[in-house]
Amino acid sequence: MTALPNLTSRIKVPIQRNPYEVVIRNQGLKSAGEELIATGIKKGTKCLIVSNPEVAEKYAQTLISSLIESGFDSTILVLEAGEEQKTLEGISQIHDAAVDAKIERGSIMIALGGGVVGDMTGFAAATWLRGISFVQVPTTLLAMVDASVGGKTGVNHSRGKNLIGAFHQPKIVLIDPYTLKSLPDREFRAGMAEVIKYGVIGDKRLFEILENISSLDSLNNLNDNQLKEIIERSVTAKANIVAKDELESGIRAILNYGHTFGHVIENLCGYGNYLHGEAVAIGMLAIGELALIKKNWKKEDAIRQYNLIKKVKLPTRWPDLDLDKVLPVLMGDKKVKDGNLRFIMPKTIGNVEIRDDISKTDIEKFLSRINF
């Protein structure tokens, strides 16, 4: 990757109460302290940074130096990385650190890391002293374009992902695309699955931009402007949907495009085997197939989606799953409405709809023939 231009983009997340900004700036970690001051966080405020080893080792010092320079008092807690750490025990560790660091009502927590750190820190902040402010500093593509924006925080329960949680919006999201340089390609590709999702659910132009980039399987193949545009368009799409439906009582559900079948894969294949984005990629192909059967979209659109996912070198094959196990997982999914299965189904590239009318029999038939 060549040096990124030092331009700053500011995207508003225009929710009614406490709207906030997503600031995208290369090397933005160096000016994190100034950004916090600009959002109204006072000098001298105590900050508890939560991170994990790979990220802390590379980026914590830059962040801490910037905070100190701006007059903040910061402490860091480094948690082990990984989805298996996203539990209530992990939250207890953050709360213990909050006791030690004397984190008060006016203090803040800062998530420096991927979606796991972001979801956990947000939930720890939502529950500490009945809710203190927090800041997202996402360092994976997935966390930049998805997890850090929108205020969904939480941890997993042994019976399912993200079952324990709270809506708690950050004060600001600071994205430094420069941090992606150290992200493994596999993690980059998993984040690209969510980027493709935004293209299909609402930003046709984003989808076309991706189609026009010759190679998408590694960050090294993107130039600075392409990367910036991809992050900007994705964040904008998410911000606009969240603003229409902050608490997910309606339209926000479209962000779950590809996730219903994706969760089946994550659940039945064990959380270590597929990254979240990889499962979502296969989930988008599965719902794309179902949409074809239901004549909800054209074959050429389904092929475009397949080709893009393939270009990113995301997995494209439905795993060999025991049919008897798939349906209970689908029915147990949070996206079941009034006993019916709910799917976010594509209509064209750039447009999806919520369908609550897909019967169990339809699904059984579909799953018994699934072959891609």
Q: Which positions lie near ligand NAD, rule CB under 6 A?
A: 52, 54-55, 81-83, 86, 113-117, 119, 139-140, 142-143, 146-147, 150, 152, 162, 179-180, 182-183, 187, 190, 276
Let me know if 276 is a catalytic residue.
yes
Let me know if 233 is a catalytic residue.
no
Provide, rounded to whole angstroms, the least separation between the CB of residue 81 and ligand NAD. Answer: 4
Choice among 95, 248, 311, 335 that is catalytic? 248
Q: Which residues pair with 47 in a beta bridge?
A: 74, 108
Let me know if 263 is a catalytic residue.
yes
Question: Are the CB atoms for 83 and 116 separated by under 8 Å?
Answer: yes
Choice among 46, 152, 189, 342 that is catalytic? 152
Let me know if 295 is a catalytic residue.
no
Let me know if 17 is a catalytic residue.
no
Choice among 238, 266, 296, 342 that is catalytic? 238
Provide, rounded to whole angstroms, the least separation between the CB of residue 364 and ligand NAD. Answer: 28
Q: Which is nearer to ligand NAD, 115 or 346 (CB)?
A: 115
Q: Which is nearer to ligand NAD, 33 or 113 (CB)?
A: 113
Residue where the block lists tokens 């590379």: 58
Residue 286: Cβ within 10 Å count: 22
Provide, rounded to whole angstroms, the least separation between the CB of residue 258 and ligand NAD. Answer: 12
Residue 7: Cβ within 10 Å count: 11
Provide, rounded to whole angstroms, the least separation between the CB of residue 283 and ligand NAD. Answer: 13
CA-based nearest residue to 358, from 302, 286, 282: 286
Q: How many residues does the chain have?
A: 372
Region of 154 on the Ramachandran plot (φ > 0 left; ψ -120 to 50 alpha; else beta): left
Let me know if 84 is a catalytic residue.
no
Give burial (CB, 10 Å; 0-12/13-18/19+) of 357: exposed
Choice among 25, 189, 233, 276 that is catalytic? 276
Q: What CA–CA distance (Å, rounded) separates 289 from 302? A: 7
Residues annotated catalytic, as ranges:
130, 152, 194, 238, 248, 252, 256, 259, 263, 276
